[in-house]
Chain A
């Protein structure tokens, strides 16, 4: 069964450094998403991406964040200058519109630790 994959599974970085989190969505999916979950808290929406542009973003997704689909398979989240509060699990998801089916499929996540 096709699945969303994410790399790396765990990323440790120093405050102020740039990080890129990578995702490979399911191949025929058209919508792509990033969510994050700070330890012990709710899963929070960051951004959605469709047709090579951002379709929606949350207040969390400020100028320090960017997303890109550099080729036909990868979808990346970049944090330009990491802060301690960026430490969280980051989940990528993808979905395809087929009839009335909009369910999102999530990857296993990347745990980001900012020191």
Chain B
């Protein structure tokens, strides 16, 4: 069975500062990895995904993530955040047979002016 751990429940940061949101996963088989963002009162939107190939994945809104198989991590980064990036971020792993998503508990990114 797969599982996802997001160690940081909240990450406060000032505008234009860099940010890293951490995600570690556990799985006995190969997985696909995703980051979703949830703005208040909205559904989840895909930021980026890792299926195979290059371990550095670029997504929307200037976000990127790096897949590290040896450390079973898929951390999300942005070099300079905006106020509008304030949201809840979820890391997820996919079951290859059904592609159902298993989510972490989320990290709330709060960007201050």
A pairs with B: no
**A interface with B by C-beta (< 8 Å):** none
**B interface with A by C-beta (< 8 Å):** none
